[in-house]
Amino acid sequence: MPDETTTAAYWDRVAEETDFTFPVDYELIEEHLSRDARVLDLGFGYGRIASKLRARGFSRVVGFDPAPSMIKRGRREHPGLDLRPWLGGELPLAADSVEAVLMVGVLSCVIDDAARMDLMDEVSRVLAPGGLLYISDAPIQSTPEYKERYTDALEEKFGQGALKIGDGGVVQHLSVPNFRELTATFTELHWNRAGGESLEGNKLDIIEYLGRL
Ligand SMILES: C[S@@+](CC[C@H](N)C(=O)[O-])C[C@H]1O[C@@H](n2cnc3c(N)ncnc32)[C@H](O)[C@@H]1O
């Protein structure tokens, strides 16, 4: 099973050739968050979401990502955004220092249950009481094609919902009970099943979640 280092290496390798497509409900975020709120875009990729937020008037967005090539592309395509490298573990942010955390397509990149829980603990640490958590990510899919890919990965000792993508990448779609466990300390404000698209262009069922700490 690949560890965190090899998964981050995959995202680093594909940074220049990948365009992320998971949906983001900006209107929903705006309904609950003031424009001067400090926002953390965790796993920002090349800054797709941080740049949209900036264009919509959010002036205090900071992004962290472990893949140096994503940061390089983000800084080139969206100069002036606060995009910083971070290799996991404790975020270089004080406790209670942000009013919102966005994680779009990030939890499914973390293919170890304990690491996912550690990441959520870190999110809760930096998020101020009453802060918002927005997640858009892929749950375990029910189509025969995906079921077959999950089975193939299980045979290689990956966990439930894992599948191989691209050239050496692995993601793990989330089971709903695991998603509930990861967000258990939050009060749910919004839960929606949206239509999305995978990086390979396949239709994907997506969970859009908004919670308050
Ligand atoms: C599918 S991309 C989504 C990027 C961006 N959120 C978007 O939707 O445009 C996932 C991103 O998460 C980053 N990532 C991988 N492992 C991570 C981890 N453990 N913590 C935070 N980010 C991670 C990857 O480098 C990649 O840039």
CA-nearest residue, atom 8 of ligand 1: 104
Distance 110 CA to ligand 1 centre (A): 9
Q: What φ, ψ does residue 149 adopt, rounded to 5°?
A: -70, -35
Which two three-digit tokens encode residue 99? 């009013």
Distance 3 CA to ligand 1 centre (A): 15
CATH number for the domain formed by residue range(s) 4-142+172-212: 3.40.50.150
Encode the chain (213 residues) as per-residue pLDDT tens digits.
445 546 778 999 999 999 999 999 999 999 999 999 999 999 999 999 999 999 999 999 999 999 999 999 999 999 999 999 999 999 999 999 999 999 999 999 999 899 999 999 999 999 999 999 999 999 999 999 999 999 999 999 999 999 999 878 999 999 999 999 999 999 999 999 999 989 888 999 999 999 999
Distance 104 CA to ligand 1 centre (A): 7
CA-nearest residue, atom 13 of ligand 1: 43
Pick from 153, 159, 154: nearest CA to 175: 159
